[in-house]
Structure 1
C-alpha cells in the first residue's frame, strides 16, 4: 500500500461523507491530488477490500474499519508468505536432492579414477593384480638398507618379462653400488630385456602400467603409508612425462660405471648442491639421493674443502660461481 493510498484511506475514515458523489471534488481538493490520481487510489482501496459497498444503500460505499480491514490484509499477506515459504522449502528440498545426486555422481566418477590402499600390505596386494600387456615402467627410489628378500626369479616382474612386456627401471645411482641389485636383480632382469637406468636422485616411487594406470605413494617420503592408483588420463600423462624426463637424463646402469663429471662435479654431487641451494636439510638430501646422512656430510665436506667454503651457504655461492649449479 503506497503512501497516497494510505492517506486517502485515512481521510475517508475521518470524513466518510467525502465518498458521496457530490463531494468527490471536495475530496480531491482536500487531498491536493488530481481527480485521476484519486480515482486510482480509490480503486486500490477497493482491491484491498478497505472500501466496500453499503449493504443497505445502493451505489454507496464506506471505508472498512482498520481493525477489520487491515487484519484481513494481514491474513491475506500471511497466506501469501506461507505459500512462498512452502514453495521455498520445496525448492530447497529439490536443490538438496540435486546436490546430493551430483555429489554421488562425482564420488562414483572419482572412485573409478582413484583407488586408495592404506598400508604396505594392501598396496602390495593391489600391485599383484595388475596384468600389463604392453609396458611397465618403474621409478624406484632406494632406501638405505632396504634389500629384497626374494630371489629375482621369484619377483612378480618375471612373468612380465617372459611375456615380452616393455619394462623400464629408473633407480638411484647408489642403489647400483650394492651387488644384490647390480649383479642380482637388475642384471637378471636386463638379461630378459628389461632396461635399467640410473640417476642421482628420484622424487618418489612411481609405477606406470600400459600407460593407463599410475601408482604412487600416499606419502612420497614413506611408502609404508600406502599407495594411490590413478586411472585419470590427465594424471597418468603427467606421470609419464615426469618419468620420461628423468629417463632421458639417466645413464645406462650397465654402461661405463665411471661417474660422469659435469662442469667439475659428478651428477650425484651436482644434485646434492642443487638440493642444498634449494634449502633442503641433510635429512632431505639423504632421502632424495638414497644415501646415508653420513654420506651427505662427507660429500658436503669434500666439496667445501674443494672450493674453500666455510659453510653450506658459502658452498652454494661458490658452486654457483663455478657453474656447478644453475
Structure 2
C-alpha cells in the first residue's frame, strides 16, 4: 500500500522497522536490511522530509515514526498536492501557449481528441459544450465518460444538446448521468454546430461542420472566443433543461379552457369577469390558476404570466 503512495521499497522497510521498534539505531537497521549506514541515513532523511519520521522530544538526537494511519494520510495529501501542482502547471503552460498561438489547426480525429483531453484536463473555471445531432453515438458517450466525470468534479460544466436528442434513450440516459454529477444540461433546436469553450480562453470548432473527421480549429483570440461564448449564452438562455417538456409539447397539453383563461387574465380581467366569460365560477378560475401556477413553477400570477409567455403558452 505504501508503495502505491510513492514510498520506495527501502524506505518502506526502514519505516516498518521503526514502527516495530522506535529505538532501533542506524547500525542495526543497516545490518537487518543488508545496506550500508550511508544509504540508511539517506533513507532516514527522506522519511523525515516526508514527515513520516520526526525528532523525538523524549530522546534528544533520535527520531520516532508517526503512526501508520497518520503516515498514509500524509502521503495521500502529498500526492494530492503534487497532482494539483501538476494540473496548475499544465494550465499555466496552456495559457502561455495561448499567448503565442491565437489559433491552431488540428487535422484528424486523433489530433482533435488529444487536444480536447488536454484542454479539459487543464480547465480551472468552466467548460461549455454544444453537441448537435439527434443522437450521440454510444461509443462516443462511453469514451467521454471518464473525462466528463473528471471535469464536473473540478469546474462548472454546461452542455447544450440539440432538442431532438430527447428521442434517443442512450443520449438522454447519459445526460441524466451527467446531471446527477452536477453538469447543467439544456436542449435547444438552435444547437446546429459543435463547440467547446474552456475557461473563456480557448474555443474548439470544426474546420468543416459537414465533415467532423477533417479536424478542428483551436481558437485563442480573445475577440473570437468572446463572440463564441456570447453565442453559447444566447442559446443557453432560451434552452430548456433536458428533463423538461419542450414549449410546444407543454402548450399542446393545455386545454382550451386553460389557454383561454391565461389570455383573459393576461388582458387584465378579474377572476369574476374571467369566470363569466368562461361560464364558470370565480372559485373554479382560482383552482385552474393554482394548477397552472404549479405547472409553471410560479409563486405569483405575474410570474406565471411571464413564464407562460416565455414558453409560448399565450
TM-score computed with the length of structure 2 as normaliser:
0.45
TM-score computed with the length of structure 1 as normaliser:
0.43
Larger radius of gyration: 1
